[in-house]
Amino acid sequence: MSATPVKFYQVGSFAVGNRLLDPELRSAQSEQDRANSLTSGHRACQGCGEALGARYVLDAAMRASGGRMVTVNATGCLEVFSTPFPETSWRVAWLHSLFGNAPAVATGVAAGLRATGKQDVRVVAQGGDGATVDIGFACLSGMFERNDDVLAVCYDNGGYMNTGVQRSGATPPAARTMTTQAVGEHPGNAFGQGKDVPRIAMAHEIPYVATATVADLRDLEAKVEKAMGMHGARYLHVLVPCPLGWGSAAKDTVRIARLATESGYFPVFEAERGEVTSVRPIRHQVPVEEYLALQNRYAHLFSPVRRDDVIDRLQAMADRNIARYGLLEEAHS
Amino acid sequence: MLRQVEGSKAVAAAVAACRPQVICAYPISPQTHIVEELSRLVKAGELTGCEYVNVESEFAAMSGAIGASAVGARSYTATSSQGLLYMVEAVYNASGMGMPIVMTVANRAIGAPINIWNDHGDTMSQRDSGWIQLYASSNQEAADLHPQAFAIAEELSVPVMVCMDGFVLTHATEGIDVLDAAGVDAFLPPFEPRQLLDPDEPVSIGSMVGPDAFTEVRYLAHLRQLEALEVIPRVAEQFAARFGRDSGGLLRAYRTEGAETVVVALGSVFGTLQDVVDAERDEGVRVGLLGVTSFRPFPYAALAAALAGARRVVVIERALAVGAGGIVSGDVRLALAGTGIDQRTVIAGLGGRPVTTTSLRELLGRAVRGELPGLTFLDLDTAVVERELARLHPSARKVPS
């Protein structure tokens, strides 16, 4: 496909030092002929982590596949803000079917491409956490189990944001949503619930599972590139802050994602065939509280009464991640 | 050449002869023998160039077929009953996006109470799903309808359900002229998709359409179904010219000439009714039979023309719209509006209850004598109903006759 001229306001990391790197180390976003897979003019909120994540994921996947790629999108914010008929922001071949079936549609796409002799065309399925960990989970697990040649990407903003911020199986404990409101003795989402889908994906022993955030876009790109270099079922779980749902400032999206990883609350790692192969070590550890304090979905933990009991439980979750993945150890990859 | 073969296997052979490129398979009785046989054909190398995908649910089966169809692969799946209901969201999605998927539905009742036997409750629930629905009156027709279904679907970019009665047809072994690829190749051209998910010419498929254009999208889908009213008989004629068999089309008339009473029915009960009509005709009773092959689109004009000489019509339905009565009857009534033709509805064969010639002849006798009420449940065990009603309402209620 022909390249889209890069617009000035869209330069991304092109402007911040990539030019000083060797060409093979430069970000996909630094290339003037990048795919612009999700191009400007879409209707995402200011500071949308998902839009940022999707642009980097797909441009990196386009680069890795030489533009030989099709995308399947679940229903959700990403679909709604990008394709209000007759407009589209997608410059990749893109198919939206339903909320809960993107992995299964992608299975069919991969099978159809094989059957029609287009094995070189790669398949990326993407959706939010509702589409991935809840309503589409059976299709996701089925796709993993068959080891279909699909990269499934979950943009995890911890809730059903498109429908107005309701709880999903990825909503963290204590977070308020419209269906886990900050009222009563145990305000916000309950503890002891929720799915750790990256680890569930690992249990399928698929070739590749990775987590990433929009705070480290080079890491995200590198993981997409690595995933696209493999065949079979691959899973990428990307933490994407949502200013609307999280009650955070649009300017803080990247900052909050960084605090999520630097506190250990969101572990960033890679796994192959069910075994963790690398982790992103914490560089400057921060208490979870710093991550929580920037988000109104946790405001009830600080006011009118400070809930140290709840904050401590959330810190314990981060500590457990740090221990489980060795996030404070020297990098071992 | 006729071969003694099970209906499911004849259908599987017919599907294989259409050279599907992706088959998404998930088991459910009584459809399972079809996908089992297709699995064997693929594994044995008798069906080549086909990806056979064992999916984790019917919802995934239809979703996979959607994805495969979007990249230009001829796609097929099969289901029944609960499976059809489990995939409903994707069923509507396939038609909404104009994916020319062909699906066999081995008709089976819907629970609760769970019941694996035949009726048309499953496909009737998908009446308004935007799919073309063709009902097979015999195993030969069930097999023959598959190449026709692909031809119709791909010409119009509309998905087609081939409905065949579960067990009654799927598990019946009889003499069938089994289709092969060499024969079907001359009838069915390769699939040329109208739209394609293609990295060389990227398009966005499945975008969100608001109030400004949604009505138009639906209206265009309606027009395509109306167009199918011309395509379906033409494809049936082409099939007849190639294979020398009368299969498919909109309607199937049997001894309707000069008939005062015409029975309208869908599916395999057509065969039983042929025997009933023959027996009645032998006794001088002027009855005829009209099978509806194409239920969606509904051939209103053709049906009205076929019934023009009748005095009364008895619609036999293998499904029930609870709280209303017949389902097909509503369409027949619309087709006959203003003609003055008397119309009665009979609900028969629910959940696999046999529809016998004895009961049908008794029923027709009542119809001819003008004794049939507007809605009849064939062979209803009134003792069971009375007992249950008495238990629920001790103040003794009578079953409406």
* Range with the poorest average pLDDT among A212-216, A326-330, B283-287: A326-330
Residues of chain B positioned with their CB less than 8 A from the CB of A92: 199, 202
Mean pLDDT to the nearest integer, B359-371: 97
Q: How far is A3 from chain B (nearest CA, A)?
A: 12
Please indicate if any CB of chain B lies within 8 Å of the CB of A138.
yes
Whether residue B298 has pLDDT greater than 90: yes
**CB-based contacts of A315: which residues, under 8 Å, 6+ apart?**
A287, A288, A289
Would B395 be classed as within a structural domain? no
Residues of chain A positioned with their CB less than 8 A from the CB of B208: 79-80, 83-85
Please indicate if any CB of chain A lies within 8 Å of the CB of B206.
yes
Q: What confidence score (pLDDT) does residue A33 get?
A: 83
Q: What CATH number did the domain enclosing A280 receive? A: 3.40.50.970
**Phi and psi for A220 in degrees, rounded to 5?**
-60, -50
In whole numbers, what is the pLDDT of chain A averaged over residues?
Answer: 93
Q: Do B256 and B218 share a structural domain?
A: no
**Which residues are registered as beta bridge partners of A296?**
none
- Using CB atoms, pick whichever of B66, B73, B202 lies closest to residue A115: B73
Q: Do B215 and B313 share a structural domain?
A: no
Whether residue B150 has pLDDT greater than 50: yes
Would A61 be classed as within a structural domain? yes
Chain B residues 30-49 within an 8 A CB cutoff of chain A: 49
* Both structure tokens of A214: 């929009």
Boundary-marking domain end, from B243, B266, B282 = B243
Mean pLDDT to the nearest integer, A36-42: 93
Q: What confidence score (pLDDT) does residue A12 get?
A: 47
Please indicate if any CB of chain A lies within 8 Å of the CB of B192.
no
Please name the residue of chain A whose CA is at the shortest distance from the CA of residue B208. Answer: A84
Would B400 be classed as within a structural domain? no
Please name the residue of chain B whose CA is at the shortest distance from the CA of residue A81. Answer: B208
Q: Do B229 and B276 share a structural domain?
A: no
Per residue in B183-208, pLDDT tens? 999 999 999 999 899 999 999 999 99
Q: Do B121 and B138 share a structural domain?
A: yes
Per residue in B225-281, pLDDT tens? 999 999 999 999 999 999 999 999 999 999 999 999 999 999 999 999 999 999 999
- Using CB atoms, pick whichever of A73, A101, A109 lies closest to residue B70: A109
**CB-based contacts of A307: which residues, under 8 Å, 6+ apart?**
A187, A300, A301
Under the banding of pLDDT at 50, 70 and 90, the label for residue A17 is low
Please indicate if any CB of chain A lies within 8 Å of the CB of B198.
yes
Q: What distance in Å separates the CA atoms of residue B179 and residue B21, rounded to the nearest whole number?
A: 18
Please indicate if any CB of chain A lies within 8 Å of the CB of B93.
yes
CB contact under 8 A, A69 and B199: yes
Q: Do B280 and B239 share a structural domain?
A: no
Q: Do B141 and B15 share a structural domain?
A: yes
Tell me the one-letter amino acid at B385: V
Boundary-marking domain end, from B210, B243, B276 = B243
- Using CB atoms, pick whichever of B55, B201, B202 lies closest to residue A142: B55
Per residue in A123-165, pLDDT tens? 999 999 999 999 999 999 999 999 999 999 999 999 999 999 9
Q: What CATH number did the domain enclosing B364 receive? A: 3.40.50.920
Q: Could you give the percent of chain A with pLDDT greater than 70? A: 93
Q: Do B285 and B174 share a structural domain?
A: no
Q: What CATH number did the domain enclosing B169 receive? A: 3.40.50.970
Q: How far is A171 from chain B (nearest CA, A)?
A: 26
**CB-based contacts of A30: which residues, under 8 Å, 6+ apart?**
A12, A13, A14, A18, A19
- Using CB atoms, pick whichever of B49, B56, B67 lies closest to residue A108: B67
Q: What confidence score (pLDDT) does residue B394 get?
A: 75
CB contact under 8 A, A107 and B210: no
Q: Do B167 and B30 share a structural domain?
A: yes
Segment (H or E) for B232: helix B214-243
CB pairs under 8 A between A and B: 164
Nearest one of A208, A310, A202, A295 to A256, comparing CA atoms? A295
Q: What confidence score (pLDDT) does residue A332 get?
A: 46
Find out whether B11 and B143 touch, Cβ atoms under 8 Å: yes
Beta strands in A17-92 (DSSP E): 69-73
Residues of chain B positioned with their CB less than 8 A from the CB of A2: none
Please indicate if any CB of chain A lies within 8 Å of the CB of B87.
no
Q: Do B262 and B197 share a structural domain?
A: no
Q: What distance in Å separates the CA atoms of residue B355 and residue B378, rounded to the nearest whole number?
A: 8
Q: How far is B312 from chain A (nearest CA, A)?
A: 46
Q: How far is B314 from chain A (nearest CA, A)?
A: 41
In whole numbers, what is the pLDDT of chain B averaged over residues?
Answer: 97
Please indicate if any CB of chain A lies within 8 Å of the CB of B68.
yes
CB contact under 8 A, A107 and B55: yes
Mean pLDDT to the nearest integer, B343-365: 98
Domain count, chain B: 2
Would B101 be classed as within a structural domain? yes
Would B399 be classed as within a structural domain? no
Beta strands in B166-202 (DSSP E): 173-177
Q: What distance in Å separates the CA atoms of residue A20 and residue A23, rounded to the nearest whole number?
A: 9
Would A285 be classed as within a structural domain? yes
| Preceding omega of B297 cis (within 30 degrees of 0) | yes
Would A63 be classed as within a structural domain? yes
Find out whether B56 and B26 touch, Cβ atoms under 8 Å: yes
**CB-based contacts of B3: which residues, under 8 Å, 6+ apart?**
B175, B176, B177, B178
Per residue in A65-76, pLDDT tens? 999 999 999 999
Beta strands in B167-266 (DSSP E): 173-177, 204-205, 251-254, 261-265
Q: Do B198 and B66 share a structural domain?
A: yes
Boundary-marking domain end, from B243, B274, B292 = B243
Domain count, chain A: 1
Q: Do B272 and B238 share a structural domain?
A: no
Domain range for B83 is: 2-243
Please indicate if any CB of chain A lies within 8 Å of the CB of B95.
no
Q: What distance in Å separates the CA atoms of residue B9 and residue B35, rounded to the nearest whole number?
A: 9
Beta strands in B48-91 (DSSP E): 51-54, 75-79
Angle CA A141–A314–A158, to nearest 5? 40
Q: What confidence score (pLDDT) does residue A152 get?
A: 98
Residues of chain A positioned with their CB less than 8 A from the CB of B64: 104-105, 107-108, 111
Whether residue B46 has pLDDT greater than 80: yes
Would B268 be classed as within a structural domain? yes
* Range with the poorest average pLDDT among A31-35, A314-318, B100-104, B187-191: A31-35
Please indicate if any CB of chain B lies within 8 Å of the CB of A125.
no
Under the banding of pLDDT at 50, 70 and 90, the label for residue A16 is low
CB contact under 8 A, A1 and B198: no
Q: What confidence score (pLDDT) does residue A333 get?
A: 45
Q: What distance in Å separates the CA atoms of residue A79 and residue B209, rounded to the nearest whole number?
A: 12
Reduce the DSSP state of residue B117 to 3 states and report it: coil
Under the banding of pLDDT at 50, 70 and 90, the label for residue B398 is low
Domain range for A103 is: 35-325
Per residue in A241-285, pLDDT tens? 999 999 999 999 999 999 999 999 999 999 999 999 999 999 999
Would B256 be classed as within a structural domain? yes
Please indicate if any CB of chain A lies within 8 Å of the CB of B64.
yes
Chain A residues 261-280 within an 8 A CB cutoff of chain B: none
Would B391 be classed as within a structural domain? no
Indicate the burial class of A185 (C-beta count within 10 angstroms; 0-12, 13-18, 19 or more).
exposed
Would A126 be classed as within a structural domain? yes
Would B77 be classed as within a structural domain? yes
Q: What confidence score (pLDDT) does residue A84 get?
A: 92
Chain A residues 4-33 within an 8 A CB cutoff of chain B: none
Chain A residues 48-77 within an 8 A CB cutoff of chain B: 67-70, 72-73
Whether residue A231 has pLDDT greater than 70: yes
Would A9 be classed as within a structural domain? no
Q: Do B261 and B210 share a structural domain?
A: no
Q: What confidence score (pLDDT) does residue A10 get?
A: 43
Whether residue A2 has pLDDT greater than 60: no
